[in-house]
Structure 1
Amino acid sequence: MVSEDTAVNRIGWYWSYLKSREMYLIGFVWHTDYLTTMEEILHDAVAQIKPEGVFATAKDFLLDRLDDTLEPIARVLTGKVEWNKMKANGMAATQDPNGGARVAVSAIKQYFGGLSAVDRADFEIHLVAHSAGSIFLAPLINLMDDNGLSVKTCTLWAPACTVDIFEQFYVPAIGSTIEKFALFTLDDTTERADNCAEIYHKSLLYLVSDAFENQSRVPLIQPEGEPLLGMDHFVSKSNGLQVGEASTSIASWLQQNGCDWVKSPNGEPAGSPDAATAKHHGDFSADQAVLLATIARIAGAPAPLARAAAAGPQQPTPRMLIPGFAKTDIGSLRRSLMRG
């Protein structure tokens, strides 16, 4: 969901580290830059929160529940439309006859078919996705299965896909097409302490769940938004997953099917397959502990710490800032509303 330049740079330093371990990266650059779009939507939403007119009678409530106010405004201000468009584009990469993911799978199949029996035995495919990348991968997994390609490991970092997508695409593949599955999420306390553009005071996934997905949250009427796979709140929820006639929690289903769920931040040692120090939704793709944990899962052994410096930036991904609001805290925003 970042800009093309950021995505290409990120792929570049992934590649520089992975190739020395005989891991050859195929990276998909998804032309969305949704974070910039989301910042603009939040900027417009804040501009509409004024104490006059329709909001005058509810001013005190709006001051106390700013996020509740931002969600429906952001939804109407193209938030849902843009999110739906991005999801459709991600799916189309596989479902469209000329989609880029189809081209990649065709090339991989051709390459695999040309290998000797010995080399085929050593050939493995590993899938990793962050945030909306989990939407992109969902139909791709089906396509790989249709082409006789299996997935050794699939690791999702804070996936933004809905639980419905998980049920439709991932659940049937885990244990068949996908040999080993791992889910990384923030713990719910950390997720609620995150923010979007210093305006919305929870994580991006909370904003997507509550405002941009099909089921939006409406205080006192619809207390929860659309269940997302990457949120601790929904992974832990009892009866959150429907598999056949049975209902169970996603956490229980993962455990019963040999999958791993890693919550961040945690105290696992760097290099462990369960280590994670991400504290914001955007941190996962640059968090050294998460990157080394993912490499450990791919390699089937702890990632060597001696090479940790090559694994990427030492600092978390810069948090989203909006010009004019980058230094605006909730207190100053409240005071400006009250002065109005």
Structure 2
Amino acid sequence: MPATTTTTRGAGLSAADLAALRKHVVHTADGKLAASAAAKPRTVDDFATTADDVRRMIDEDLAAFVDQRAKKTPAGETPAPVPVLIWAHGGLTDKSAGLLTAQRQVGWWKKNGVYPIHLVWESGFKTTLQDVLRGKAGERGFTDVTDLAVEAAARVLGGRKFWDDMKLDSAGSCLPSVEGGDPGGAFVLAAALREYMAANPGAVELHVAGHSAGSIYHSHFVPRLFEGDDRVESVKSVTLLAPAVRVDTFEATLLPLAETGKIQDLAIFTMDETHEKRDNTAGVYRKSLLYLVSRAFEAERDAQILGLEEHLRRSGRTMAYLGDRGERLVLGPIARGRRSSTQATSHGAFDNDEETMMSLARRVVGVPDSNEPDRLTVFPARSRDVVADVTPAPRAEPTAARGATPRKRALCIGIDEYPRDPLGGCVADAQAWSDALGKAGFQVESIHNQEATRDRILRAMLDKVSSSRDGDVVAIQFSGHGTFVPDLDGDETDEFGRRDEALCPVDFRDGQLIVDDDLGAIWDAIPEGVSVTLFFDSCHSGTVNREITPEEAEARTTPPGAKKRMTVLDADEEARFRAERAAALGDPFRAAAWRQVVAVETDRAAAPPSARADGREVLISACQPDQVALETNGHGVFTSAALSVLAKSPALTYRDFTAAVVDIIDDAYEQRPLLSAAGALGTRVLLSSAGDAAPDASAAPAAAAAALAAAVSGDGQRASAEVRTAAIVAILRATADLLEAGAD
């Protein structure tokens, strides 16, 4: 396991330090300034910024600094504009760390003739990221599995919501007043700067820099400087360090300003592709944070991120501006002159790297790239204080050793004890599946009733999938309620529109539901050579189809003695679901901020990508998308039929197995099981290893005939209709396969 040390955030910030920082820090929480603030804060918690503080910072503190610099100008010369540097930290930085960064930089910038303003915005994202990737106390983390599994964990266990919250806070900080409320903190700052510059032409020049998610903040902030009658003429420079902003957001906000010269010099410092992929995030993910953002935290998988070289090079428009390797694009680590050097070899290192920060300072101060001494004070880089500083331990991919015996592993989930709408056959289903799979050689883990929370189910599923190795066979069974939830992946995520189908854990009424995206992320983490079969006995097809509405489902006739495994959320429960899954939009200000976020994400996926073509999972679900799953006689209708066929004909292919189950159910219930399998997976033998030989189509009719013969008992009497039907279906299917093969 990784070695971990913890230090206290905010250590070393005295009351005097905090008082001094009030001249240089604009602190916002949820995008807003404070209503009141202590003039002499004694602790980090006491530190706050009001609108009056922002205006005082510009009209008094900045003005005084400009006057002091003017006094040093030789007589008869016009004072040069004073550089003002506006800094936005990254999203993994909390309030204490943001203040520490400001405290370390402020004196250095001022010694070099620059007035710094630090935007410190609260974000709980780092703690959330660590909780998501490592698991909660006492639970299994994900330090011994693949990066795909880490991406799946990050997406389904909370990372997406907090990334959206962070983007919302950055956009909200730059909003004007909404419905008579207070404007965002950065909006107040932009207005104060515009007013000062209009009243004092030529006194200052603006420079903007942001690290990581600070680039998202500045994508909303910089355009505010060009608004109103007092708009600024230009921003001297914008420098983005390892930017986590989406390419589409950048091209909708900052790039047009650079292309038209309103931003005179825009540059990006980031790692080259090789070093991005050598980086490590939180001790468990063996790439930089930017890859995790792209693959797990954005609305769509593989969203294009500005700081990733491979994504940059796909953007013709952005690269047309940046050029290949000029001063506008610095791909490190590299030593290329005094203005374009960086030795940062991790995503978090750029704002603490001497070469990077000195290159930035020379651009801000205007030092040319020459051999002449620049006389700048050297950046005071030092070891960064971090929470849970992790030294990653090596971890192996879950591949089988040569000659290792394939393992059979199963997870059986059944929930009857729902708070308001209990069921009566789901735990019995799970126990029956456990018995059947156990007899087939599977090691079975069971989760029933109150244990079956969303977090427990998803972690158990991911554990079974991601820790498997080449040749292993995994079976996952679920019996419980299904339901419908608002689709939160479309562009208009502030309005309930289309609906997704969802599985209902025991805590689903608290917003804890499992939707198709969750399952798809887990199935994407299936290692090569691992066979995964899913048996879902609920009203959830496991597909992206939405062919039935909640109203239609409730109106379906239920046969006497049967019960629907389907429930409907009320408005409060839908709101709780949304609050658990996406940025909370509980007031007009946050709703407006989210509209601003989405408006500049022009390539944002309107829906999640469909299942990959080479999917390795096979799903047999209880019903079609426009049907409901039923339970009767103490079991699910699907489970009873499926286990009957499994017991009597275990060697059927997935396709023939599903057909046999359909044949049993069709006569009695309006419920038709559905097989979802990519490519040729449907023709493989049920619960077989991926390494097993596929059935030979030319021999299949004979094998099926043998199965039919075996269905006749020793005394000449035929076995059950279910087995007879399964064998006949097998013959027909195999014959069709043979004809297809002959046609080829």
Give TM-score, length-normalised by structure 1. 0.79
What is the total number of aligned residue pairs between the two structures?
298
Aligned partners of 2:374, 2:193: CA distance in 1, in Å? 31
Aligned to 2:551: none
**Residue deviations 1:17-50 (CA, integer Å, cap 9, x gap):** 1112321111100101422221111112993659
Alpha-carbon distance in structure 1 between the residues aligned to 2:308 and 2:250: 13
Q: Does 2:406 correspond to 1:329? A: no
Residue 357 of structure 2 is aligned to residue 273 of structure 1: no
Mark the CA change 1:20 to 1:290 in structure 2 (over 3 Å): closer, same or farther. same
Spell out the pairing of 1:212-227 with structure 2 (5 A cutoff).
212-216=297-301, 225-227=302-304
Corresponding position: 1:230 with 2:230: no
- Residue 67 of structure 1 and its aligned partner are, at CA, apart by 0.4
Task: Give the C-alpha shift of residue 334 in structure 1.
Answer: 8.9
Mark the structure with the bigger radius of gyration: 2
Q: Indicate the residue corresponding to 2:296 in structure 1.
A: 211
| Aligned positions of 1:20-35 closer than 5 A | 20-35=111-126
* Residue of structure 2 aligned with 1:38, choices 108, 121, 129: 129
- Residues 201-224 of structure 1, C-alpha deviation per residue, up to 9 Å, x if partnerless? 1000000001111111xxxxxxxx
Structure 2 CA distance for aligned equivalents of residues 163 and 33 of structure 1: 24
Within 5 Å, give how 1:182-261 maps onto structure 2. 182-216=267-301, 225-237=302-314, 240=315, 248=316, 250-255=318-323, 260-261=328-329
Answering whether residue 200 of structure 2 is matched by residue 140 of structure 1, we say: no
Deviations 1:87-106 (A, max 9, x none): 01111100252100011112
Other structure's SS at 1:47 match: coil
Structure number with the bigger relative contact order (C-alpha 8 A, sep ≥ 6) is 1
> In 1, distance between residues paired with 2:358 and 2:239?
12
Q: What are the equivalent positions in structure 2 for 1:108-147 lying under 5 Å apart?
A: 108-115=193-200, 120-147=201-228
Q: 2:100 aligns with which of 9, 13, 22?
A: 9
2:236 aligned residue: 152
- Give the one of 138, 150, 171 matched to 2:255: 171
Q: Which has the higher helix share?
A: 1
Alpha-carbon offset, residue 249 of structure 1? 5.6
**Secondary structure in 2 aligned to 1:152?**
strand
Does the Cα contact within 8 Å between 1:235 and 1:249 map onto a contact in 2?
no
1:286 corresponds in structure 2 to: 352
For 2:374 and 2:333, the matched residues in 1 are separated by 19
Contact 2:277 2:286 in 1 (8 A): yes
> Contact between 1:134 and 1:159, CA under 8 Å: does it hold in 2?
yes
Asked whether the 8 Å contact 2:206–2:236 carries over to 1, the reply is yes
Instruction: Indicate the residue corresponding to 1:59 in structure 2.
Output: none
Matched residue, 1:297: 363
Q: Could you tell me which of 119, 134, 140 is aligned with 1:47?
A: 140
1:110 Cα deviation from its structure 2 partner: 2.5
Q: Secondary structure at the residue paired with 1:26?
A: strand
- Give, in whole Å, the separation in 2 of the partners of 1:108 and 1:206: 35
TM-superposed CA distance for 1:273, in Å, is 0.7
Mapped partners of 1:180, 1:22: distance in 2: 20
Change (3 A) 1:35 1:306: farther
Q: 1:209 to 1:273 in 2, by over 3 A?
A: same
Instruction: Tell me the equivalent position of 1:83.
Output: 163
- Return the structure number with greater strand share: 2
Kept in 2: contact 1:163–1:229 (CA 8 A):
yes
Partners of 1:18 and 1:24 within 8 A in 2: yes
Unaligned runs of 5+ in 2: 1-90, 178-182, 401-462, 469-744
1:27-80 Cα distance to aligned partner (Å, 9 max, x none): 100101422221111112993659xxxxxxxxxxx95xx001111221011111
Q: For 1:124, what is the secondary structure of its paired residue?
A: strand
Shift in alpha-carbon separation, 1:168–1:34, aligned structure 2, 3 A? same
CA contact (8 A) 1:180 1:259 kept: no
The structure-2 alpha-carbon separation of the partners of 1:192 and 1:8, relative to structure 1 and needing over 3 Å to count, comes to same
Give 1:195 shift. Answer: 0.6
Tell me which moved more, 15-24 or 79-88: 15-24
Output the amino acid matched with 1:15. Answer: V
1:263 matched to which residue of 2? 331
In the aligned structure 2, how far is the partner of 1:85 from the partner of 1:8? 21
Aligned to 2:670: none
Separation (CA, whole Å) in 1 of partners of 2:382 and 2:141: 38
Give the alignment's Cα RMSD to 1 decimal.
2.9
User: 1:184 is aligned with what amino acid?
Assistant: F
Contact 1:158–1:184 (CA under 8 A) maintained in structure 2: yes
Query: CA 1:301–1:251 in structure 2 vs 1: closer, same or farther (change >3 Å)?
Result: same
Shift in CA distance, 24/43, structure 1 to aligned 2, threshold 3 Å: same
Deviation at 1:236, TM superposition (A): 1.8
* Contact 1:67 1:201 survives alignment (8 Å): yes
Shift of 1:330: 1.2
Between the aligned partners of 1:286 and 1:142, the Cα distance in structure 2 is: 27
Identify if the C-alpha distance between structure 1 residues 333 and 22 changes in structure 2 by more than 3 Å, giving closer, same or farther: farther
| 2:112/2:376 contact within 8 Å kept | no
